[in-house]
Amino acid sequence: MTQNRPWIPYLLILPSVAFLALLFVVPLVQTIWLALSDNGAPSLANAERMVTDINFTRSVRNTFLLTIVVVPVQIAIALAMGTMVAKVGRGRETILWIWTIPLGISDLAAGLVWLSILQNTGYFNSLLFSLGVIGRQASWLSYQTPVALFIAIAVAEIWRGTAIVMVIIVAGLNQVPKEFKEAAEIFGAGPWTRFWRITLPLIRPALQSALILRTVLAFEVFAVVYALGGRNFPVLVGEAYNWQNQNQNYSVAAVYAVLIMIISLAATLIYLKALKVDPERLS
């Protein structure tokens, strides 16, 4: 039947194509145009305005720094958690469920949770005070304590975003037949060698997905940073937000959006190349 009417498949995918075009491609083209035009003519004036802003360099540096610190730590913690939970028999589901609770909390709420812990009158200071470590309220989140602020944001991000990495890695670990590890064990590989030489290479597809997802999300970090540091810790999305809302300059905000997209796409490409999952290893 479809042979007589070759347009049927196209008709069937038309709604989704139209949907994507309307909600993704059109805004994308509009944003790019907004970013690269001035008074209806192509122009780099907005880009120039962005890079000459005093917060631009800081926001780029902060975002990259945060990504470089947070993503590897998240991958390492997720690998450790995933390996541990794989050894657990009963109660495994419960542990996984508890570990994934941060996933269910929105990033702004997560930022506020950590704010209540780390602000001047927060739980962290109360604890330190009651232990006698500090004599009076210390501030951790001000522009005068950039290192403490960075650590606080990094910790909050790690806490919030590790669960999704772990879920992906646990799924990857479940795909590896236990005979591979047992064979390695019999032929003399210790736990460390088994992990590096057998497990890690075999979960490479999962690792790749987790890295891409986490890195892209890390470049888009905003709500947690905004809740904890406000404008003391500028990041790319935060700057886009400020140009859009405070300065009412949609064009510079659009340049930021395009920049974030380019960085994300580049990171994804690098991962796909670096962790190339060759068809050879798929048994």
Partner 1 sequence: MANIVIDRIRKSFGAFQALKEVSLTINDGEFVSLLGPSGCGKTTLLRIIAGLETSTSGDVRIGDRSIIGLAPKDRGLAMVFQNYAVFPHMTVYENVAFGLRMQKADDARVKAQVEKAAGLLHIEPYLDRYPNKLSGGQRQRVAVARALAVEPKVLLMDEPLSNLDALLRLEMRTELKTVLQSAGTTTIYVTHDQTEAMGLSDRIAVMHNGVVEQVGHPVEIYNHPATRFVGGFIGSPPMNFIKVPVSNGRVAAGAEQLAVPEDVGNEIVLGLRGEAVELAPLPQGIEMKVRVAEPMGSHLLLTGSIHDQPVRVILPASETVRSGDTIGLKLDRKRITWLSPESGKSFPAVSA
Q: Could you say which residues in the range 200-229 bind partner 1, by CB under 8 A?
A: 201-202, 204
120 or 193: CB nearest partner 1: 193
186 or 274: CB nearest partner 1: 186
Choose one: 20-28, 56-64, 132-140, 275-283; the region binding partner 1 (CB under 8 A): 275-283
* Dihedral (CA of 241, 247, 249, 255) sign: negative
Q: Report residue 47 as tokens.
A: 């880009």
Give φ, ψ of 38 to 5 degrees.
Answer: -140, 120
Choose one: 35-43, 55-63, 142-150, 173-181; the region binding partner 1 (CB under 8 A): 173-181
15 or 89: CB nearest partner 1: 89
Q: Does 180 bind partner 1 (CB under 8 A)?
A: yes
Choose one: 7-15, 62-70, 103-111, 189-197; the region binding partner 1 (CB under 8 A): 189-197
Hey, what amino acid is at 109? Answer: A
Minimum gap (Å) between residue 172 Cβ and partner 1: 14
Q: Which residues contact 130 (CB under 8 A, 6 or more apart)?
A: none
Of 221, 241, 198, 191, the closest CA to residue 55 belongs to 241
Q: Does 193 bind partner 1 (CB under 8 A)?
A: yes
Q: Does 188 bind partner 1 (CB under 8 A)?
A: yes
CA–CA gap between residue 135 and residue 87 (Å, rounded): 44
132 or 188: CB nearest partner 1: 188
Minimum gap (Å) between residue 89 Cβ and partner 1: 11
Choose one: 49-57, 74-82, 135-143, 188-196; the region binding partner 1 (CB under 8 A): 188-196
Ramachandran category for residue 230: left, alpha or beta (phi over 0 → left; psi -120 to 50 → alpha):
left
DSSP 281: G
Task: Please report, for residues 31, 41, 217, the alpha-carbon distance to residue 64 in angstroms, rounded to integers and kept in the order given.
Answer: 23, 32, 12
Instruction: List, as one string, the DSSP characters of 39-82.
Output: TTEE-SHHHHHHHHSHHHHHHHHHHHHHHHHHHHHHHHHHHHHH
CA–CA gap between residue 215 and residue 268 (Å, rounded): 8
Minimum gap (Å) between residue 180 Cβ and partner 1: 5
Minimum gap (Å) between residue 279 Cβ and partner 1: 8
Q: Does 281 bind partner 1 (CB under 8 A)?
A: yes
Q: Which of 134, 183, 262, 269 binds partner 1 (CB under 8 A)?
A: 183
Q: Does 241 bind partner 1 (CB under 8 A)?
A: no
Q: Which of 28, 148, 198, 275 binds partner 1 (CB under 8 A)?
A: 198
Q: Which residues pair with 38 in a beta bridge?
A: 41
Q: Which of 187, 192, 273, 274 binds partner 1 (CB under 8 A)?
A: 187
Q: Which residues contact 89 (CB under 8 A, 6 or more apart)?
A: none
Per CB under 8 A, residues contacting partner 1 are 177, 179-180, 182-190, 193, 198, 201-202, 204, 279-283
